[in-house]
Chains A and B, each alone.
Chain A
Amino acid sequence: MTLAPPSSRVQLTDDGKLRHFLSVEHLSRPLLEDILDTAAGFVDVGGRAIKKVPLLRGKTVVNLFFESSTRTRSTFELAAKRLSADVLTLDIAKSATSKGETLLDTLRNLEAMAADMFVVRHQDSGAPFFIAEQVTPRVAVINAGDGRHAHPTQAMLDMYTIRHYKGGFEGLKVAIVGDILHSRVARSQIHALNILGAEEVRVIAPRTLLPADADALGATVFTDMVQGIEDVDVVIMLRLQRERMDSALLPSEGEFFRLYGLTNEKLGHAKPDAIVMHPGPINRGVEIASEVADGPRSVILNQVTFGIAVRMAVMSMAISGQESLDAAQEDDHGH
């Protein structure tokens, strides 16, 4: 007996529609392409005089941020508002749990507000899976980043960016550079690139910033930046947290920049038309030189614009998946 992998069982309806968006892993290529195509339809909304479409009118979206975030939270908020939803943002890092309320108690309280969607960021890997299993069936859960595990909307906006500039994924070589060990973004990007048919995904980092069994991530592992970046079409730089020096993972920002920081010189080893990406916020002079961040190959700012469209796509698809479940249930009761 072969069961569908747990992650896809939870996040898809029986007929394969998205009802939660928790992880890219185990999703199909057509579904990911559907997300990108749907997002394409939303990119223009931001350019209109009235920046709204009515797809989520009458729906309530609750942003549950157990870990603080400015950027991701505000793009989700904006995405929900452009879909005409009512939006409530709770910075739980500073409220309920610090008063000793358990995550389950918090959820029960929020359900009582008749929310239709939870957008969740949590410091524990797997938290959105736990929440999706616990919430009433009508609530869609979107993962806005869990521990080191996944950040699927960030990965999909990166895929949108790559497709926008490269036309597709066939034959592409992509290098992801930096703190792979702690990066939920890298894990989701690797899954997405492999599913969408990239030729090769590489990760580049010193051994202290790679997980044990890094091969299991689905990428080729390099510890040398110049070798790893050779001939790639896309370079994705990851943010380096200051704490890494305190926990003896790196000697200094200076040495990291010298060995793994992206400079024009190192970028010279990539393909001449290679693009440079970064999920932000960037640390100039730590993982990326200003000359690259502000240079002609950088597409970092466009990533932000696409981020809103991709989040609108995922939110509208999950709500429609939930609605198809409700319709099916009503059918069952009718017969």
Chain B
Amino acid sequence: MDTKANLLIRKGRVIDPASGRDDVADLLVEGGRLVRVGASLDAPGAEIMEAEGLWVIPGLVDSCVHLSLPGEGPWAGDVASECRAAAGGGITHMAVQPDCGPVDSTAVVRLIREQAGQANFARALPVAALTQGLAGEHLAEMQTLAQAGCIAVGQAGAPLADSLTLKRCLEYAATFDLLVLFRPEDASLTAGGCAHDGAVAARLGLPGIPAVAESVALSRDLLLVEATGVRAHFQQISSRHSLALIREAKRRGLPVTADVSIHHLLLDESALEGFNSHCHVMPPLRTARDRQALLDAVADGTLDAICSKHQPLGSFSKAAPFPSTRPGISGLDTLLPLVLKLVREEALPLHRALDAVTAAPARCLGIPAGQLETGRMANLTVVAPDEQRVMSERWLSGGRNSPWFNTLLPGSVRRTVCNGEVSWLAG
């Protein structure tokens, strides 16, 4: 059965950050392929969607989601359920972090692709483990995993403490020109902490994680990137001190990109008042000054992309005193709404904000996505940017662990087209 879309989207505001296009136009999808964008298109037999007042944007690319295989660990939902949540959130591509499984064998890669394929809502692109079992001791079969479909290699939330092992991992990855994802963190400086080591943690008596836990590791990682020549993408930069290091690396021409999680752009350490465990995340929410510096860094491109850092957790994971709760926010449902909120509040310029969740992360990950390019399979999202809705009324992720679960946010996704097929249609 041919499920590829034949669809004419009429009179929407078409915004494509990659090409700089921003105008009211019609957009025609035939056989799943985006064939034309222009004025007053005609397409006999195609389904017509009137999009006046709506925005038509590329399908979102999420550079960091944590998913699980069915029955795995403390996680809520699985690959299939979270792919559906992604589609409902306007996301068409997501980089599945290697702690799913973990991704250190082709069997797990096949399983993830199979689960995602059956669901057919969003492309779940696995990131391979850098070391076997993410244990930080033996190299994983990175090239085999890349050939099986992994788009990059990384250590998820288990950064390598041993610099020699890391250097060898990077040399091996560089041999095959694999992209390496880093979440810079010095485990000895993080140990035992659950909140930014600042004024709020001092008052609440929460064990702290200093900003240098990130920047010390980032410095080492950047030096090893330079020494090995490997392509690197840094994930979830949280501290302003790290930004100077990223800027300097880019200025010197190192093959380096970086992202930030959406919650670090909206919240700071003050969100922890009252021991709100929904704001327990890793890396921790830092100061108001850090938050502003991160916004500025997204605006000027130092931080290329914004990700959801999706971590869907079962309710029991947060039903404990703050330090004993599991860190993480379920972010697929709120990524686009929160980006639109930042744009409405003029915290970020529109085109850069949309670029940071579409073309920029696709570029960071080296995947062909995140733009409205004619001739290719369509990946797009139609959204009512000003329509406010209570998030809990249509929450799709299996994890409800979010500080925004019961709040009103702008941006209701009306339709998502993923790889030429309609993956989400608002009822």
Residues of A within 8 A of B (CB): 5-7, 9-10, 25, 102-104, 122, 124-127, 129-130, 134, 146-150, 184, 187, 211-217
Residues of B within 8 A of A (CB): 197-208, 210, 273-277, 316, 319-324
Does B320 lie within 8 Å of A130, measured CB to CB?
yes
Provide the residues of chain A in CB contact with B321, threshold 8 Å.
103, 122, 124-127, 129-130, 146
Point out which of A25, A125, A147 has the most chain B C-beta atoms below 10 A from its C-beta.
Answer: A125
Provide the residues of chain A in CB contact with B206, threshold 8 Å.
125-126, 147-149
Q: Can you identify 18 A-B contacts, CB atoms within 8 angstroms?
A: A5-B273, A5-B274, A7-B274, A102-B320, A104-B319, A125-B206, A126-B206, A126-B275, A126-B323, A146-B321, A148-B206, A149-B205, A211-B208, A212-B197, A212-B202, A212-B210, A216-B202, A217-B203
In whole angstroms, what is the CA distance A148 to B275 when docked?
13
In whole angstroms, what is the CA distance A122 to B277 when docked?
17
How far in angstroms is the closest Cβ of chain A from B274? 3
How far in angstroms is the closest Cβ of chain B from A133? 9
How far in angstroms is the closest Cβ of chain A from B195? 9
In whole angstroms, what is the CA distance A91 to B279 when docked?
31
Contact status of A125 and B273, CB under 8 A, knowing A130-B320, A212-B198, A212-B210: no
Contact status of A212 and B323, CB under 8 A, knowing A5-B273, A102-B316, A129-B275: no
Does A147 lie within 8 Å of B205, measured CB to CB?
yes
How far in angstroms is the closest Cβ of chain B from A156? 18
How far in angstroms is the closest Cβ of chain A from B200? 8
In whole angstroms, what is the CA distance A102 to B277 when docked?
16
How far in angstroms is the closest Cβ of chain B from A185? 11
Point out which of B203, B206, B277, B324 has the most chain A C-beta atoms below 10 A from its C-beta.
Answer: B203
In whole angstroms, what is the CA distance A216 to B206 when docked?
14
How far in angstroms is the closest Cβ of chain B from A146? 8
Q: Taking CB as reference atom, which chain A residue is nearest B202?
A: A211
How far in angstroms is the closest Cβ of chain A from B289? 12
Of A9, A102, A184, the residue contacting B205 (CB under 8 A) is: A184
Does A129 lie within 8 Å of B205, measured CB to CB?
no
In whole angstroms, what is the CA distance A321 to B323 when docked?
29
In whole angstroms, what is the CA distance A126 to B280 when docked?
13
Beyond A125-B204, A129-B275: 14 further Cβ-contacts under 8 Å? A5-B274, A102-B319, A104-B316, A125-B323, A129-B321, A130-B275, A130-B321, A134-B319, A148-B207, A149-B206, A184-B205, A213-B199, A216-B198, A216-B199
In whole angstroms, what is the CA distance A102 to B321 when docked?
11
Provide the residues of chain B in CB contact with A5, threshold 8 Å.
273-274
Does A212 lie within 8 Å of B208, measured CB to CB?
yes
Q: Taking CB as reference atom, which chain A residue is nearest B206?
A: A125
How far in angstroms is the closest Cβ of chain B from A96? 14
In whole angstroms, what is the CA distance A148 to B323 when docked?
11
Provide the residues of chain A in CB contact with B274, threshold 8 Å.
5-7, 9-10, 129
Does B208 lie within 8 Å of A149, measured CB to CB?
no
What 8 pairs across the A-B complex have the smallest Cβ distances?
Answer: A6-B274, A148-B205, A149-B205, A126-B275, A216-B199, A124-B321, A211-B202, A127-B321
Of B202, B273, B323, B324, the residue contacting A213 (CB under 8 A) is: B202
Provide the residues of chain A in CB contact with B203, threshold 8 Å.
25, 187, 216-217
How far in angstroms is the closest Cβ of chain A from B315? 10
In whole angstroms, what is the CA distance A25 to B208 when docked?
20
In whole angstroms, what is the CA distance A212 to B195 when docked?
12
In whole angstroms, what is the CA distance A6 to B205 when docked?
16
Point out which of B203, B205, B274, B320 has the most chain A C-beta atoms below 10 A from its C-beta.
Answer: B205
Provide the residues of chain A in CB contact with B320, threshold 8 Å.
102-104, 124, 130
Provide the residues of chain B in CB contact with A130, threshold 8 Å.
275, 277, 320-322
Q: Taking CB as reference atom, which chain A residue is nearest B273?
A: A6
How far in angstroms is the closest Cβ of chain B from A176? 14
Provide the residues of chain B in CB contact with A126, threshold 8 Å.
204, 206, 275, 321-323
Provide the residues of chain A in CB contact with B207, threshold 8 Å.
148
How far in angstroms is the closest Cβ of chain B from A198? 18
Does B205 lie within 8 Å of A150, measured CB to CB?
yes
Provide the residues of chain A in CB contact with B276, threshold 8 Å.
6
In whole angstroms, what is the CA distance A91 to B202 when docked?
29
Does B316 lie within 8 Å of A214, measured CB to CB?
no
Q: Taking CB as reference atom, which chain A residue is nearest B200?
A: A216
Q: Taking CB as reference atom, which chain B residue is nearest A211?
A: B202
Q: Taking CB as reference atom, which chain A residue is nearest B323?
A: A124
Provide the residues of chain A in CB contact with B316, threshold 8 Å.
102, 104
How far in angstroms is the closest Cβ of chain B from A151? 10
Of A7, A124, A150, the residue contacting B324 (CB under 8 A) is: A124
In whole angstroms, what is the CA distance A124 to B203 when docked?
14
Point out which of A184, A211, A216, A217 has the most chain B C-beta atoms below 10 A from its C-beta.
Answer: A211
Provide the residues of chain B in CB contact with A104, threshold 8 Å.
316, 319-320
Q: Taking CB as reference atom, which chain B residue is nearest A130?
A: B321
How far in angstroms is the closest Cβ of chain A from B259? 26
